[in-house]
Every structure is written in structure tokens, then in C-alpha cells.
Structure 1
Amino acid sequence: MAPGKKILGEERRQLILEWLQTSKEPLTGSELASRTNVSRQVIVNDITLLKARNEPIIATSQGYYYFAPPAPEQWFERSVACIHEPEETEKELNVLVDLGLLVKDVKIEHPVYGDLTASIMVSNRKEVTQFIQRVNETKAAYLAQLTDGVHLHTIAAKEERTLDEAEAALKQAGFLLVE
């Protein structure tokens, strides 16, 4: 591609899709904009159009992922109820990723809006650090701050016993919400 030449419309969306499908790391809107010589807002619009075509693209604080869900027989998922202070978020996420889990999302039950879910998609300490840095840089509030620290995570692992280990580790760390 010649420097400064914009990649237009459908050709750009196909390239974005290919890059996301082949990347092992998330790609930021700014990076995609730079590669295609368009604005980040054009990329945001392209991602929206690709999602409307049912492409499994997930926006996270680290960038965009192409997330083809693993085959059901290979991965197990569970929701875990947690409670902690905002400054304990990094420790909580590290407890989970250190077991080899994928923390897919965080959910809260808001009194007005009902269930609110936000994608996290972290599976190692580097991704946790990037997530926490992004929250701190943007001065964003954690969803759990709206519910006095109470929230759910969807966690995924290749073995069900790893999910059991995760619950035990959360309980030991004081993060598991128990009656």
C-alpha cells in the first residue's frame, strides 16, 4: 500500500477482518486506522458493520479481538459471584488468570437498567495489567462500583476442575460472594 492511500469501503472491512482473524493480540482502532489510512471513527463504524454481519468481534480495553467461540466440548464456562473493593480488581483477575482461565466478562444487576455486561477477555497477567492501566488512564469506574462491589464473571477453562479450583481460590482470597 502506498503511504497516504486510503483503503476504501468493503476492501478495508475485508482487510480488517483478515487482520483480526489472524492476530494473536488485540488490534486497536488507532492501529487499524493507521494501516488503512482512515480515521479511528471510520474503523469504529467498520467494526459495527462487521458485527452486524454476525462476525464475532469483541471490543475490549486492549483493542478488538476476533473471538470465534471454542467448541463446547473443549471449553467449560461458569458464572461466579464476587465482591470486593475497586482497588482489589487486579488481584481478583490475577487469581483467575493464574489458574489458566479466560475471564470473559463482568456483569452487574443495575436497579434501573437491569443486567449490564461488559467484555473483559483477559487470560494472562499481561492482559490484566493492560486492562487495569486502561481503566486508570481513562479514569473509568468499574461496573461493580455501581453495586457496592457485587458482580459476576463468566470464566472459561478447558477442564471443569479448573473452574472448581477458581471458585476455591476466589473464596480463599475473600472475593467469592457467599451467603
Structure 2
Amino acid sequence: MTTLENRDRSALLVIDVQTGVLVGAHDRDGVLGRIGVLLERARGDGTEVVWVQHSSDQLPVESEPWQIVSELTVRDGEPVVHKRYGDAFEATDLEDVLAARGIGRLVVAGAQTDACVRSTLHGALTRGYDVTLVSDAHTTEDLSAWGAPSPAEVVAHTNLYWGFEEAPGRTAGTATAAEVELGGASG
């Protein structure tokens, strides 16, 4: 049901699964395992895979912390969108990448739940995309020492509210990695 014309394809959007981002992440290995399964399913059924890779002063381009984790592999032909802001659409070519592929629905996984994942979820919905968050394939670090809820609570809260998100002419929601529909047309 995307509001974007002639955009009936879906993509698995894998956000910031980088060595430095996932240091100490909640359920890191479980989340990466589920993302790995999603990647194989997407590749097997012809669903586009689009990667997002963050850079910052703490994640300098080409540094070890900036690299995609060794457990996951970007395949030839899978676009990698480089960003410096939380919302993967902001000051990047993500919209061009998706438009060129006829993508109007995003299935989102990755890190960090309370930063780049949330920003990108909202950015996509406001730009007209249908957006499904894979409820057991996103994670964050423990920032409770600075007053944040525990990582498990951050993930649970994000899943709760995104499950009820809506916008005119667009769909949003959550599904587990085992249950999420990857391919096919939007709507």
C-alpha cells in the first residue's frame, strides 16, 4: 500500500551491522544469526538486500570498527549506502537506490534500535514507504548507566510502539524473523 507510485517491490534493509556498533550489543549473536537467515531468505527469493553503513568520529571510514561484522557478507550487486546521520535517508543516496529498484516496502533489521533503526523507520514511513521492523533482528548497546532503559526494554518498547504505527496509505508493523514476509508486492 505504499504511497510511492510504481514501487511494488520489497527490500531487506540491514542497518549498521558494524564491528564497532555491535560491541557489547544486546543478544548480538542471536540478532546476527537471525539477520543471516533473513539474508539467505531474501537472496533466495529475489528480494533486494540494501545495506546501510554509518561513519562518524568514532567510526572512521575504512577503520576496523567501521567494517561490517565478519559474520555477515555483502554480496556483489548489493548496494551499500553510507551515512553520517541516524536516518539512513538523510544526506544519502538511499532514496535513489530504492527508487531505481522499484522498492516501496522496507523490512528493517540491524542496529542501534534507539538511534539509527528508529530514525530510519520514521524517515521511511514519512517518505511514503511501508515499513516492517523485524522484531527479533535489531539490537542496541546498554546505556542504562546514563539513564536509558535496559537494552531488552529498548527493543521491547520499540517493537511495541512500531506494532501500532500507522500513516495514511502506508503500513507499518513488526514480525519476527521467522514470520516476516520478504518478497512480493507491497500492500
TM-score by length of 1: 0.25
> Is the helix fraction higher in 1 or 2?
1
TM-score by length of 2: 0.24
Rg: which structure is higher? Answer: 1
